Amino acid sequence: MKYVFRMFLMTVTALLIQGNALATDKTDAIPLEYFGMHIHRADNGTAWPNVPFGSWRLWDAYVGWANLEPARGKWDFSRLDRYIAMAAITKVDILLPLAMTPSWASARPLEASVYKPGNVAEPARIEDWENYVATVGQRYKGKIKHYEIWNEPSDKNHFTGDLATLVRLTCSAHRILKRIDPSIRVVSPASAGGGRHIEYLDKFLSSGGKDCVDVIAHHFYVFNEPPEAIVPLIKQVRNVMRKNGVDDLPLWNTETGWWIANGDGTPDHMMVAKGGWRKLSLDKESGDYLKRAFLLARAEGVERFYWYSWDNKYGLGMVEPTTGSPKPMVESWRGLVSELVGATALKCDSNLKSWRCAYTKKNGMRAEIAWQVD
């Protein structure tokens, strides 16, 4: 199916009465932290993104447990230290996933995975996990305020333990991190997509996980669909949160993206070739998807949206894999952030295939974006 996107922006004169601008509710102002990024090789070949963003999720950035403690008691914080220094200079908030069991600590050290053997199994001893969490938490006290437990545990490619074990790992990490710094926020394990993945979140929360997290996370991937398909997924997650009595917690989208054409000849990933993902063209299409996704998710109350990713090599990247040159969608990102940071009263609605989002810009002027999906 071909989706045709027509976007226009209308800005109307602000209402001024006796020098008072149009009233807006500043409490829902969109912060820069809403615009999150994944950068895989920020210290090894990737130039720091030349676009504004406020948060950085360190997944696929080679700082998992297996990277930090490759042998029992033998720690290597060199890369993570560099990332923390970069974040401090640029004032970017770090979200660190706690995951990736090293083979020496793994319950199944020879188990094959998309990473290294044993990485996606749970640790054999909870004491090793607790030491890992405590060591990282102490070292980066005051520097890392957000920790996410594992990554996409409903997928056996990322976690082969059972749900009860995941709850135990989460609650253990929550207890340790809060003891180190009560202001630390623990982000729930995030599954990807709809159906059974949302059911997994429900089971995690109802099995005791809801008592050990401060933020609910999900990966709102819609793979072969346009951004509008995110909206019903968010509503389903909201229903699960409400059912489990955690609807007052923040909801974060800690990973979402689409396959984007490479312009430098780098071949597509096999998942694109098999038809499992929609591949976006380099031109206006990819930038339009980005804008629609960020607008619709925020209108549904999502507090952070981490785009995957800046420098992915196979087709999810915003820059060319071999040259690092920005793809055209980078300008869409820059313009969207400039337009929306500080904006308030964002609301979106639809009528069949017509969509519209309206908001108040930080200068008090009303703006509207409308599009048609065919």
Rounded distance between C-alpha atoms, residue 131 and residue 120, angstroms: 18
Contacts of 372 (CB under 8 A, 6+ apart): 4, 5, 6, 353, 354, 355
Answer yes or no: are the C-beta atoms of 192 and 219 closer than 8 Å: yes
Residue 26 has pLDDT above 70, yes or no: no
Examine the pLDDT at 7 and tell me if it is beyond 60: no
Three-class secondary structure of residue 188 per DSSP: coil
The domains of the chain are located at 30-341
Check residue 13 and give its pLDDT. 30
Tens digits of residue pLDDT in 40-85: 999 999 999 999 999 999 999 999 999 999 999 999 999 999 999 9
For 191, how many CA atoms within 13 A lie in the half-sphere containing its CB? 22
**Residue 20's beta-bridge partner residues?**
17
Please list, in sequence order, all residues whose beta carbon lies within 8 angstroms of the beta carbon of residue 231, skipping any fewer than 6 positions away.
Answer: 296, 300
Q: For residue 3, is pLDDT > 50? A: no
What's the rounded Cα separation, in Å, for the pair 289 and 282?
11
pLDDT confidence of residue 374: 75
How far apart are alpha carbons 339 and 30 in whole angstroms? 10
Task: Tell me the pLDDT band of 170, cut-offs 50, 70 and 90.
Answer: very high
* Polymer length in residues for the chain: 374
Q: Structurally, what CATH architecture does the domain formed by 30-341 represent? A: Alpha-Beta Barrel (3.20)
Rounded Cα gap, residues 286 and 283, in angstroms: 6
Across the range 157-165, mean pLDDT stands at: 98
pLDDT of residue 284: 86
Query: What is the model's pLDDT at position 9?
Result: 39
**Hunting for tokens 């703006």 — which residue is that?**
367
Specify whether the CB–CB gap between 336 and 51 falls below 8 A.
Answer: no
Distance from the first to the final alpha carbon of the chain: 8
The pLDDT score that the predictor gives to residue 24 is 35
- Residue 6 confidence (pLDDT): 41
Residue of 200 and 374 predicted with greater confidence: 200
Mean pLDDT of 201-217: 98
- Could you tell me the pLDDT band of residue 2, with boundaries at 50, 70 and 90? very low
pLDDT beyond 60 at 21:
no
- Which stretch of DSSP H or E encloses residue 56? strand 55-57
pLDDT at 23 exceeding the cut of 60 = no
The per-residue pLDDT for range 250-294, each reduced to its tens digit, is: 999 999 999 998 888 888 766 665 667 888 988 889 999 999 999
Percent of the chain, pLDDT > 90? 83
Instruction: Kindly state the percentage of the chain with pLDDT values over 70.
Output: 91
Using DSSP, state whether 155 is helix, strand or coil: coil
Mean of the per-residue pLDDT values for the chain? 91
